[in-house]
């Protein structure tokens, strides 16, 4: 009889503790955790810890989890308020102080005291910044279904590519993350046959950036949208991608293959390659 | 003669150094900097530092900036590769090592070595995670212009509110950040007159979450979209918001006022208040 060896995977609960949305704590904490693939993490976000009472409730939850898990929870904190941070530090969690760790050295280097103000990063502190993002998102949404010449004039960048190659999510991400006005132009079969740039985008050649995708993946995506259509057929997808690539090369339009890249990677690559200045950080 | 006192504002250049997209470095770095309001920061992102040559180019740029500014640049690094990090550490910048600072203590606490693998956070390491986000974003986009009963069935949450109160940006953010399938229903004048929940969303009462906005701000937003229309008139906006709020209260639909909140805050608040489980971290 063969006794199968049991693989024991370590499990840990992770808490993200924040006085505002928790996004900063989640972003860095999650990045750090991806370095420990051997461990199964259960992630829990506790945002809006903005009073001693809420801090104490967070402590109770961490301590209860420690008991249930029989393992120390990992806590990533971006709490700015020293009183609140002092409370959560008393929990049984392993505290990673993402904020406090660097504030001291930065104060010393900059020779000024930090304001210790809560939640400036994703709050409404900067109203102008916020409105810019919304405006940029609305631009991406409005320009999505048939942009006008006026839209293209206003655009910081215009993504071109065949249907379902990733234009819209990328435009929205460029708007949300960088405040950029990103338009797009879907290359239709007739555009690809002619081999010329469509008239409406030809004047904006300098703003064009191409998206390509592997034909196989494209067919898969289209199949989910319109099963068994000619639109989703492998032959048509192959043909569109081939013609699209040829157009980009003949017209000297820079392009990126989106197949194996996340939205963040596509957006960051476009910024680096075009030298486009983001409108916000 | 009165000599006006010159306010000298300290200026510093900030570099975000990363082997992948730079988003993690930017997020935490930017949060930390918001604590130093007295200083004017010029932020520069250098992503995709994935070779010694690129690391050396980053060093040159930092050193040149140090010379031009006559002040030490602040560098936030999430470089995982120890060789690359060693190169950038030799620059004249003040290095804030967002990754290395915590990896050691985490390795000790978890009792495992980290994989020191580059760019797992926003890369394609997790294909399933990536596809979920795209699927959720497409859901939000598709469901935006008139969702069907099938869409509402599938939705994790359905945002309701008058035109231009912030439904679509919030839905897209819930999709992108949390992988949630967020639908929306725009409350039209006729819906508000009846005082009942519209038939199409009535079966999904448990999924409904209301968005309100100050009438003055709403009029301002609508004015930008359709100048001097009755749609944008202060009276109509006031009336719609009043009726909308009444509907939420009578139908016991939880709601949030979006006027003074960022998209991140609205989304994080909805998660906390509904107890909705995010599909991804």
Dihedrals phi, psi of B45, to nearest 5 degrees:
-105, 130
What tokens appear for B231 in the block? 């749609």
Are the C-beta atoms of residues A254 and A210 closer than 8 Å to each other?
yes
Q: Chain B: residue nearest A102 by CA?
A: B96
Q: How far is B50 from chain A (nearest CA, A)?
A: 13
pLDDT digits (tens, 9 = 90+) for B9-56: 789 999 999 998 998 899 889 989 988 988 999 999 999 999 999 999
Are the C-beta atoms of residues B160 and B183 closer than 8 Å to each other?
no
Taking an 8 Å cut-off on Cβ atoms, the answer to whether A47 and B177 are in contact is: no
- Would you tell me which residues 36-65 of chain B have a C-beta closer than 8 angstroms to some C-beta of chain A? 36-39, 43, 45, 47-48
Of A24, A109, A260, the CB nearest to B28: A24
Q: pLDDT category, B3, cuts 50, 70, 90?
A: very low
- Would you tell me which residues 177-216 of chain B have a C-beta closer than 8 angstroms to some C-beta of chain A? 177
Of A35, A262, A271, the CB nearest to B122: A262
Three-state DSSP at B116 gives: coil
Taking an 8 Å cut-off on Cβ atoms, the answer to whether B47 and A94 are in contact is: no
Taking an 8 Å cut-off on Cβ atoms, the answer to whether A23 and B268 are in contact is: yes
Does pLDDT of A1 surpass 50? Answer: no
Does pLDDT of A190 surpass 50? Answer: yes
- Domain spans, chain A: 10-110, 127-274
Q: Does the domain at residues A127-274 carry the CATH identifier 3.30.2020?
A: no
pLDDT digits (tens, 9 = 90+) for B122-135: 555 567 777 888 89
Question: Looking at chain A, how many residues does it have?
Answer: 281
Residues in A touching B48 (Cβ below 8 Å): 268-269, 272
Tell me whether A118 touches chain B (CB under 8 Å).
no
The yes-or-no answer to whether A10-110 and A127-274 have a common fold is yes
pLDDT digits (tens, 9 = 90+) for B121-173: 555 556 777 788 889 998 998 877 668 899 999 999 999 999 999 999 999 99
Does pLDDT of A117 surpass 70? Answer: no
Taking an 8 Å cut-off on Cβ atoms, the answer to whether B261 and A12 are in contact is: no
Are the C-beta atoms of residues B241 and B215 closer than 8 Å to each other?
yes
pLDDT digits (tens, 9 = 90+) for A192-246: 988 899 999 999 999 999 999 999 999 999 998 899 999 999 999 999 999 999 9
State the average pLDDT over residues A109-118.
81
Of A23, A265, A278, the CB nearest to B21: A265
pLDDT digits (tens, 9 = 90+) for A69-95: 999 999 999 998 989 999 999 999 999
Of B229, B240, B106, B115, which Cα lies nearest the Cα of B165? B240
Which CATH number applies to A10-110? 3.40.50
pLDDT computed for residue A146 by the predictor: 67
ipTM: 0.86
Does pLDDT of A56 surpass 90? Answer: yes
Count the Cβ atoms, other than its own, within 10 Å of residue A118. 17
Over the Cα atoms of chain B, what is R_g? Answer: 25
Tell me whether A275 touches chain B (CB under 8 Å).
no
Does pLDDT of B2 surpass 50? Answer: no
Of B99, B106, B104, which Cα lies nearest the Cα of B85? B99
Of B206, B209, B193, which Cα lies nearest the Cα of B248? B209
Does pLDDT of A3 surpass 50? Answer: no
pLDDT digits (tens, 9 = 90+) for A134-148: 899 989 988 776 688
pTM: 0.86
Q: Which residues of B237-256 are buried (b: 16+ CB within 10 A; e: fewer)?
A: beebbebbeebbeeeebebb
Q: How far is B272 from chain A (nearest CA, A)?
A: 8
Mean pLDDT of chain A: 90
């Amino acid at each position: 009889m063969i006794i199968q060896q049991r693989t024991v995977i370590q499990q840990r609960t992770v808490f993200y503790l924040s006085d505002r949305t928790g996004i900063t704590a989640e972003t860095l904490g999650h990045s750090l955790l991806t370095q420990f693939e051997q461990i199964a993490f259960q992630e829990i976000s506790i945002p809006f810890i903005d009073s001693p009472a809420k801090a104490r409730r967070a402590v109770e939850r961490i301590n209860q989890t420690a008991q249930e898990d029989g393992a120390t929870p990992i806590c990533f904190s971006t709490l700015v308020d020293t009183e609140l941070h002092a409370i959560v530090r008393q929990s049984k969690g392993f505290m990673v102080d993402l904020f406090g760790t660097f504030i001291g050295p930065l104060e010393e280097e900059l020779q000024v005291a930090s304001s210790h103000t809560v939640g400036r990063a994703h709050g409404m502190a900067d109203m102008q910044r916020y409105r810019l993002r919304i405006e940029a998102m609305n631009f991406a949404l409005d320009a999505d279904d048939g942009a006008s010449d006026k839209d293209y004039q206003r655009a910081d960048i215009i993504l071109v590519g065949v249907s379902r190659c990733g234009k819209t999510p990328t435009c929205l991400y460029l708007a949300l993350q960088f405040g950029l006005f990103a338009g797009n132009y879907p290359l239709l079969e007739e555009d690809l046959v002619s081999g010329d740039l469509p008239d409406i985008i030809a004047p904006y050649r300098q703003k064009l950036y191409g998206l390509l995708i592997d034909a196989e993946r494209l067919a898969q995506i289209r199949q989910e949208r319109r099963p068994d259509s000619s639109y989703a057929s492998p032959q048509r997808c192959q043909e569109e991608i081939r013609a699209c690539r040829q157009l980009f090369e003949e017209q000297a339009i820079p392009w990126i293959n989106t197949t194996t890249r996340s939205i963040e990677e596509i957006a960051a690559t476009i910024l680096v390659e075009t030298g486009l200045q983001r409108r916000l950080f």
